[in-house]
Structure 1
């Protein structure tokens, strides 16, 4: 072996270094490399699990976001419905108030017409009494001696009846 080493132009130190290097590689391959591979695999699995967990959390966050958006839209729709109901109720109430006011107006108008008719009848009755009184006075002055009170009363009633048939 010394002959081969000398023929190649190698010295013993270099051969020892090569032998030591090969032994180091074998030692590293047998003892250290499996630990390094195991650590790298664990690291790779940890990263893969972290990516998977992050993706799962992103999906959950997206689902939660979508749920919140759905709830927000639902709340908006409910609020819109409440506003519409309130608007309809206000319109109905306004219509009821208008109808009530119209009915009250009609009632007041009817009452006023009845009051007017009563006052008119009262005025006509007073006017008849005054006309009767004036007629009696005029008739008594014209015919003061021959007409009795009963005859005068009959003439007055007849005059009132004729006056009542006339349009006012």
Structure 2
């Protein structure tokens, strides 16, 4: 083989190299490829899990936003309800105050009418008594209680027809 110009050492090195490649392919390459595939699968699983968690987080975020919107709407409804109830209560209070004022006014008018009637009756009695005293002095006679009473009743009849 030296005639061909091939060196035995070179040939041995090539054979050793091929044997080394076969050995590496059988012994080392498959475990390394398996480790790389496992690593790639692990990374793919982590990415998928992270994507799933991101989707769940987004779903929770949307749920939270929906609940917040619902809470705002409920709060707004409660505020409107309270405002309406307050307005109704205020209207009831105003109506009650008006009714009470009307009742007080009517009561006062009735009291005034009673006092007026009482004052007119007292005035009639006093006028009748004074008239009798004047008449007694003028006539200079003694008036018995029966005569006085009849004169008072007659006077009250006459003055009752007069407008006051």
TM-score, length basis structure 1: 0.85
Q: How does 1:110-129 map to 2 (within 5 A)?
A: 110-129=106-125
Mean Cα deviation higher: 69-78 or 101-110: 69-78
Mean Cα deviation higher: 54-63 or 73-82: 73-82
- 1:151 is displaced (CA, Å) by 5.2
Q: How does 1:1-168 map to 2 (within 5 A)?
A: 1-4=1-4, 6=5, 10-145=6-141, 150=146, 153-168=149-164
- RMSD over aligned CA atoms reads 2.1
Higher relative contact order (CA 8 A, sep 6+): 2
Count of aligned residue pairs for this structure pair: 164
- 1:70 is displaced (CA, Å) by 1.7
- 1:136 is displaced (CA, Å) by 0.6
- 1:62 is displaced (CA, Å) by 0.9
Distance 2:143 2:57 in 1: 119
TM-score, length basis structure 2: 0.87
SS at match of 1:2: coil
What does the per-residue CA deviation read over 1:7-53, in whole Å, with 9 as the maximum and x for residues that have no partner? xxx43333322222222112222222211221111111111111111
CA contact (8 A) 2:128 2:156 kept: yes
Distance 2:143 2:62 in 1: 111
SS at match of 1:3: coil
Segments of structure 2 that go 5 or more residues without pairing to the other structure are: none
